[in-house]
Amino acid sequence: MATTEIARPAASAAVPQIAAHDVRPERTGWTSWVTTTDHKKIGIMYLVLTFVFFIMGGVEALLIRLQLSQADNTLLTPQKYNELFTLHGTTMIFLFVVPVMAGFGNYLLPLMIGARDMAFPKLNALSFWLLAAGGVVFYASIFFSPPECGWTCYTPLAESSYLPSGGVDAWIYLIHLTGLSSLIGAINFYATIANMRAPGMGWGRLPLFVWAILVYAILLILALPVIAGAVTLLLTDRHFGTHFFDPTSGGSPLLWQHLFWFFGHPEVYIMVLPGFGIISEVIPVFARKPIFGYKAVAASTVVIAFLGLLVWAHHMFSTPSPTVVLVFFMMSSFLIAVPTGVKIFNWIGTLWRGTIEFTTPLLYCVGFIGTFLIGGITGIFVAIFPIDWQLTDTYFVVAHFHYVIVGGAVFAVFAGVHYWFPKITGRMMSEPLGKLSFWLVLIGFHVTFFVQHAIGLDGMPRRVYEYPDVGHLELYNLISTIGSFILALGVGVIVINVVRSLKRGAVAGPDPWKANTLEWFTQSPPPVNNFDTIPRIRSVEPMKDIRREVARQADRLAALQPAATVASMGPETQGTV
């Protein structure tokens, strides 16, 4: 585990060193977190807060599955059920998957490009606190009346004549606050990547995770203003007498659907592209091979983002729309499968002829590829609009998008947590617990969601609080519920592993995985200023170059002065010269 490097010989200053000094004494205690503008502390707060929301969204999901475990169940009232799936969807999308990627981005992006912080540290802190405010406003509604219109809040149902309570308004403010948070964060990411890269790090040497965060930022900047406008129109409809979405006064409910999905589909790529980025970082490290087709992987990220802006109405195939519209959105959705397929082929190409080390992060990456592939394939079914007429708004679609979002984002997040935990905390996570969590999550996920394809094909629509005991519906739903608890157990093991490893994990050292990117060129956890010296970047794998250089110099020294000065140091003392 410990990296073996060479001590600095007194005479030679040319040997690359992991050296960093604190500039000022760090603040301690809780005020240091509240007042911080350090991207690492903000990143950690993002990760912790979003995981709290993830657990809350997960509990809501378990309640939903409990209600559906039996036909004609009366555990929850229809109102409570509608509130729960609205909370679940909104929480997972706006308070977990999108901001957790911002959390990874915040923590890692400056480290990966050799910067000392983000471009705008104070704006960065503002992003986090806006997110926290959005979550608080939204969850405050559970003490009054939570929204019950689903995470899509379709009009006219979301208009005040049908849902007069404040729940929808809480949802609107959540969209505004988290949207503003993401927008500010996105501008910050873009400015940081554009201006603060290490010397020599051209666009062709940008780590693929940074490419993903760059495209994530651009998509957020393009898509968020649209939803911000749409929810503002909804707000004025609800409270200030406008009729944008009210058909009885010349408004259009379909306008809402178009605006929502014009944001909503790029949102899917906002969620999965950073996940793709994590996978593209982790696989080469544990296959001990460079990424296969760096340019193709980076380019496909850009192409997916571009096409992702042109497919929104495939969520609306059953609305009254002309055939030409249906055909256009079917074809654009088909097109997006090509760059996505290219990515999957390149990941498998990276594994091919490698020497694969089955660590927990790699297992989650592999689980990601296998799971996401199924989501991609069912995506072809729902892209063909005559078939979608049978599948849309059923459990088939529920299964499809969970395969995409859990397969494409959450598995990647878990890979990222296990991979970067040593960097963030300085300690390793337990591998046996990590592997246990992987198998529980993988099996739990597929037991929960695979059978949901069949539930949908059997004719069960989504968002129904009860169903009759016909066909195999009750059996399938029970299987799904059991799976959801296995999945929850797996997530529980991850939480236990994280908490336990904080104190008891093995000390990691700066570069426990022998990784490729620059964040491993500093202590774990990194000091406030990240790096004292920033190396010149000569390839897409700067750490590999540095290790090679160190080894070469060690060889040279060994040849000059046999044995005496070549010493192996404990990892914890490295870098604190």
Residue 75 within binding range of other proteins, rule CB under 8 A: no
List, as one string, the DSSP characters of 51-79: HHHHHHHHHHHHHHHHHHTSTT--SS-HH
Give the nearer residue to other proteins in terms of CB position, either 73 or 565: 73
161 is annotated as an active-site residue: no
At its nearest, how many Å lie between other proteins and the CB of residue 82? 6
| Residue 85, both tokens | 């799936």
Q: Is 343 a catalytic residue?
A: yes
User: Is 280 labeled as catalytic in the residue annotation?
Assistant: yes
Taking phi over 0 as left and psi of -120 to 50 as alpha, with beta for the rest, 471 belongs to left
Name the active-site residue from 151, 171, 420, 476.
151
Smallest gap from residue 311 Cβ to other proteins (A): 14
CA nearest neighbour of 163 among 238, 54, 250: 238
Determine if 552 is a binding residue for other proteins (CB under 8 A).
no
- Bridge partners, residue 427, by sequence: 507
Give me the catalytic one of 91, 181, 350, 522. Answer: 181
**Cα end-to-end distance, the chain, whole Å:** 21
Residues numbered 313 to 342 that lie near other proteins (CB under 8 A) are 318-320, 323, 330-331, 334-335, 337-338, 341-342
Site membership for other proteins, residue 369 (CB under 8 A): yes
Pick the stretch among 53-61, 459-467, 477-485, 496-504 that binds other proteins (CB under 8 A): 459-467
Is 88 annotated in the active site?
Answer: yes
Binding to other proteins, residues 461-520 (CB under 8 A): 461, 463-467, 471-472
Positions in 134-173 near other proteins (CB under 8 A): 148-150, 154-157, 162
Which one of residues 202, 248, 503, 563 is an interface residue with other proteins (CB under 8 A)? 248
Q: Rounded distance, CA 210 to CA 267, Å?
A: 18
- Please identify which residue in the block is written with the tokens 């000091």: 527
> d(Cα 510, Cα 17) in Å, to the nearest integer?
11
User: Which range, of 40-48, 212-220, 268-276, 378-386, touches other proteins by CB under 8 A?
Assistant: 378-386
- The verdict on 233 binding other proteins (CB under 8 A) reads no
- Residue 333 a catalytic site member: no
- Sequence-distant (≥ 6) Cβ neighbours of residue 59 within 8 angstroms: none
Query: What residues form DSSP beta bridges with 394?
Result: 461
Residue whose entry in the numeric block shows the structure tokens 């010269």: 577
Question: Choosing from 343, 423, 453, 544, which is the catalytic residue?
Answer: 343
Query: What 8-state DSSP symbol labels residue 6?
Result: P
388 near other proteins, rule: CB under 8 A: yes
Q: Which of 166, 253, 525, 527 binds other proteins (CB under 8 A)?
A: 253
| 535: DSSP letter | P
Based on the residue annotation, tell me whether 321 is a catalytic residue of this protein: no
Selection from 374, 380, 366 nearest residue 399 by Cα: 374
Q: Could you say which of 142, 380, 551, 560 contacts other proteins (CB under 8 A)?
A: 380
DSSP 264-277: HHHHHHHHHHHHHH
CA distance 525 to 426: 5
Cβ–Cβ < 8 Å for 440, 47: no
Nearer to other proteins, 39 or 453 (CB): 453
Q: Which residues are catalytic?
A: 88, 117, 151, 181-182, 265, 267, 269, 280, 314-315, 340, 343, 462
